Each structure stands twice: as structure tokens, then as C-alpha cells.
Structure 1
Amino acid sequence: MTATTQSPARTDAGFGIPRTLRLGASRVAYETRIYFRQTDTLFFTFLFPVIMLTIFSVAFQGMGNVGTNPDGSGGISQAAAYLPGMIAAGILLSGVQNLGVDIANERSDGTLKRLGGTPLPVLSYFFGKMGQVFVTSVLQIGLLLLVASVVFGVALPTDGGSWMTFAWVYVLGIATSAVLGIAISRLPRSGKSATAVIIPPILILQFISGVYLQFSLLPDWLQNVAGIFPLKWMGQGMRAVFLPESFATVEPGGAWDLGSVAVALLIWLVAGLVVCRLTFRWIRKDS
């Protein structure tokens, strides 16, 4: 009798994780379809880094190569110099900005409240959001690399070590950005204020983290401020992948310092997970 009464409990537990993953996979497909139907999201998150790479590469190509020798030889093109920063910015936009604004809107228009009344597990909802971020950011980076290589003739890395570095910096960066996007979605008081609350800080971070301005040209105090936030470290990791080794000398400390990149992103990832765990609700307590 005891074994008979306990058996259904074990069966339900066994189906819990597969069901959560199955629903999460369905949410990934759903969230991705919705993402590509929103023209404003496509422009400000998906296409924005590609557009900015094109603008800066064309606007500054008359200034010649970056990092040339005293005799004018060597160096890399403007497009090659901007590529790592645009990839890092794209990761941040895909995670922090996209999810921050999206979830804030869903909380405001009642979507989260309706989902809270369904059997959908919270983890499946998170899997859907993070899966969408992963899929769209991979497509975005692929498009960035294609434009840089085909349109502007940027030579991409050919050694496996560089691409391994790219892989772990990307995975840590996109996971951190997605978690922080979920966490920051609590800041706007309404869906209407979400873009005004979230986009300006993200834009400022891009200017002080080596995306639009060469990081080594910023004053030391501003470099220290940028070093608090993850975008600076994602940019540094991507520069280690796509820029020549000689460019490491202008980094803080005179090296790529990939160990610090990993530590900084892991700290932000853990901090974001803690904030999500403490603050995320299907609906606001004050709603």
C-alpha cells in the first residue's frame, strides 16, 4: 500500500523537468517569432550594431588605419577597430535592453498576470526569454561578421584559440546580459516609461566602455567607472579575439587580462541571478 501511494509522486516528479524544458522550448519559438515582428525592437536591438558599424566605418575611413606605425604602415581599418565593440554592444542590447523593456511592458499590460494564472512554470518563461536572446544574438553577430568581412574587408581570426575565447566570452556575456535584463525590468514603473528608464543608461555605457570611443583615450577616472560594469569587460574580451596582439599594450595593465574578464562577468552573472530570485514576480506587489 505504501509503495502504491508513493508511486504517483515519483512519477509526477519525473515528468516535472521534461515538462518544464518542453514548455521552455515552445516559449523560445514563440518569443523569437514575436521579436522579429516588432519593427522598433528589430531596429534598436537587432540591426542597431550593424547600422552603427556601417556609419562609423564609412565616416572615419578617411582618417586612415588605426594603430599605424610612425612611417604610416600597418594598423587596421576603422571597421576592424569598431567590430569588437559593436559585438559587445549587440550582446548587451540583446539581453539587458531587449529583456528589460520587454518584460516591463509585459508586466504593465497584464501579460505576466495572465501567465501567472496558467500552469506555465516560471522557469519555462525564463527559458523562453533567454533562449530568444541567444537565438537572436547569434543571428545578429553572424550578420555583423558578414557585413564586416564582405562589405568592409575585415580579416576574421583563423586560429581555433581565438574562436574558443570568443565562445566563452560570448556565452558568459549573453548569459549575464539576459539575467541583468530580467533584473532591470523591475525598475520602470510602467511599460510607457520602460524605454526612458532603460535605454539612456545603456547608451551612456556604450560611450564609456570602448564601443564608440577608443577605451584607452578615455580619462583614467572614466575608465575606472566603466570597469564597474560588464560592457567594458565584454568589449575587452572581444578585442582580445578580433584585434592584433599588439593592441593589448593600450589596454589597462598593458594586457588583455582575460582572467579578469571572466571573473567580472561571473560576478555580474551571480549578482543578476540573486536580484532576479529576490525581486521577480508575475505581477507587482503594488499593482
Structure 2
Amino acid sequence: MSAVLPSPLKVGLSRTGIEVKEFFREREQLIFTFFFPIIFLGIFSAVFSGTDFNGGVTAATYFTPGMIASGIFLTSFQSLAIAIAVERDQDVLKRLRGTPMSPQSYFIGKIGLVLVTSVLQFALLLAIAGLLLGVDIPTEPSKWLRFVWIFVLGTASGSVLGIAFSVVPKSGRGAPAVVTPVVLLLQFISGVYFVYSSLPAWMRTVSEFFPLKWLAQGMRSVFLPDGYEVNEPGGSWQLGTGAIVLSIWLIVGLFLAQRLFRWTRRDAG
């Protein structure tokens, strides 16, 4: 009798453990993932310390949601798009292809890594924001339930889009030069580094087509005071629209990841 192979889910969960162990062995990646959003939050809090953000909101409080959203997008989309391109270039994926691992199991492993690192990154950032920068942490259960679904949708859509986008760089060495500008552009137009309502109308219109804008706006709905949504261009948090857009990107990302993912470089045949 032939041996029964483990399910793709079981293989994927096992792969998650390996991915997490490998991640924590890379000191440079650890520093970038966990401290990049914190450093930027500290810089923006200092630069805009005397700015009035309406309703008594401090600079640290206003920029915390954007840095959380940016951290999720960096950990999911940017990290995966670059890391997978590098693994493909170094024939890591070619070796994995010779095992019983399916693409779906590989995806589960990467998404599991993103969930683990995103939770740890968020916890560290929130601790620094609350203890050192005076940011008020929400206590209402409804806001934390809202945070959970926004967080899950954001990490999931960012992850599958990162997997799909990993086929764009022609080599692992060139991956950061291809991926990073895309992320920076989305950060600038999505209300991460600026007050979203102060951006030009055409820029806000463009940002509405992409997930980071809705992820950042959703996080503002969690961490900014009740009633602050009147300061948004639409006069509300538009959570329903945000959920729809993030879900569409999740579905699109899953489809593209399944269709475009390659174990080897395009020039390898």
C-alpha cells in the first residue's frame, strides 16, 4: 500500500514553523521588520509635535494607525515579494518543488509567517506608542473586534498580492529596486506619511483603488477618538467599502498567485 501524504494544510502549517525559525535567524530582517515603523512613528511624532490634528489628537496618536497599516503592508506585500524572488533566484523553490509540497502549502507557510511577524510587530509598536509616546490605547471590545477583521483582511490580501508580485522582478538581486518604489508610492498617497484629508483630491481618488488606503483608514477608525471620522474626506470611516475593497484584492491576489507563481525563474525554462 502506498503511503498517504499529509494534507496541504498540514504541510503548510509545518512550513510555517520553518519559515518563522528562519526569519528569526536573520538579524537584519528582524531589525527592519520590527523597528522601521517604530522609528518612523517617533520621527513623525517629533516633527509634528506642535501640530493640531483636531479634537485634541496628538501627532503620535494620529500617525500610529498609519504606521500599523504600513507595517502590515511591509511585512506582507513587500517582504514576501522580495523574499520569494530571492528564494527563486537561489533555487530554494526549485529544491522545494522536488518535495511533496504543493504551491498551496508554500503559500500557507508564507501567510503563517506574515501573521506571526505582524502580530509581534503590532504588539511592539503599540507598547512603544502607549508607554513612550502617550498614545491612548482603545479599551472598547467593539473597536478590537473591528481591528481583528481589518488586520486579518489586510495581512491576507497583502500576503497573496506579495506572492503574486514576486514574479515581476527578473532576479532576486533586483527585487528590492522593483518592489520598494511601489510600496513607497502607496504609502505616500494612502495617508501613512501625511494627513489623508490634506492630500490632493486626485491623489485620494487614485489611492482608493489600492488596499493600503483602506487598511490605514480602517486602523484610524480603531485608534482615533469616536466622532473623528468627520475629519475624513467622506465624513465617515467607510468600513463597508473598505471591507469590500480588501476582499476584492484578496480574491484577485489569490487568483494571480495561483496563476502566476513559478518555482523557477522565467529564463530557466
Q: TM-score range by the shorter chain?
A: over 0.9
Residues 1:34 and 2:22 aligned together: yes
1:249 is the counterpart of 2:230? yes
Q: Secondary structure at the match of 2:129?
A: helix
**CA distance in 2: counterparts of 1:226 and 1:250, whole angstroms:** 18
SS in 1 for 2:193: coil
Counterpart AA for 1:201:
V
CA contact (8 A) 2:150 2:243 kept: yes
Corresponding residue to 2:54 among 67, 82, 103 = 67
Provide TM-score, normalisation by structure 2: 0.95
> Is 1:88–2:88 an aligned residue pair?
no
Does the 8 A contact of 1:27 with 1:128 survive in 2? yes
The AA in structure 1 aligned to 2:166 is: S
Letter in 2 for 1:43: I
Structure 2 counterpart of 1:279, from 240, 256, 260: 260
Asked if the contact 2:12/2:109 (under 8 Å) is kept, the reply is: yes
Q: Secondary structure at the match of 1:212?
A: coil
Letter in 2 for 1:105: V
Count of residue correspondences: 268
Give, in angstroms, the shift of residue 252 of structure 1.
2.8
Counterpart AA for 1:21: L
Rounded to whole Å, the distance in 2 between the matches of 1:228 and 1:121 is 32
Q: 2:245 aligns with which of 258, 261, 264?
A: 264
1:151 aligned residue: 132
Residues 233 and 261, structure 1, Cα contact 8 Å, conserved in 2: yes
SS in 2 for 1:286: helix
Q: Give, in whole Å, the separation in 1 of the partners of 2:169 and 2:37.
A: 25
State the percentage of identical aligned residues: 48
Partner of 1:196: 177
Which runs of 5 or more residues in structure 2 are unaligned? none
The code of the aligned residue for 2:95 comes to R
Residue 30 of structure 1 deviates from its aligned partner by 1.4
Deviations 1:25-67 (A, max 9, x none): 2211211122222233223333211111111112221x14421
Amino acid at match of 2:125: L
Q: What is the rounded CA distance, in whole Å, between the counterparts of 1:43 and 1:227 in structure 2?
A: 31
Residue 49 of structure 1, aligned match among 4, 14, 37: 37
Mapping of residues 166-205 of structure 1, within 5 Å: 166-205=147-186
Distance 2:266 2:185 in 1: 31
Pairs within 5 Å for 1:227-238: 227-238=208-219
In the alignment, structure 1 segments of 5+ residues that lack a partner are 1-7, 69-74
Aligned to 1:21: 9
User: Which of 137, 146, 149 pairs up with 2:118?
Assistant: 137
One-letter code of the match for 2:229?
A
Q: Give, as a single letter, the amino acid of the residue that structure 1 aligns with 2:194.
A: L
- Bigger Rg over Cα: 1
Comparing 248-257 and 211-220, the one that deviates more:
248-257
For the 8 Å contact 2:76–2:158, the answer to whether it is kept is yes
Contact kept? 1:41, 1:98, Cα under 8 Å: no
**Which runs of structure 1 show a deviation greater than 6 angstroms over 4 or more consecutive aligned residues?**
none
Rounded Cα–Cα distance in structure 1 between residues aligned with 2:86 and 2:183 = 18
Tell me, yes or no, if structure 1 residue 103 matches structure 2 residue 84: yes
Contact 1:46 1:94 in 2 (8 A): no
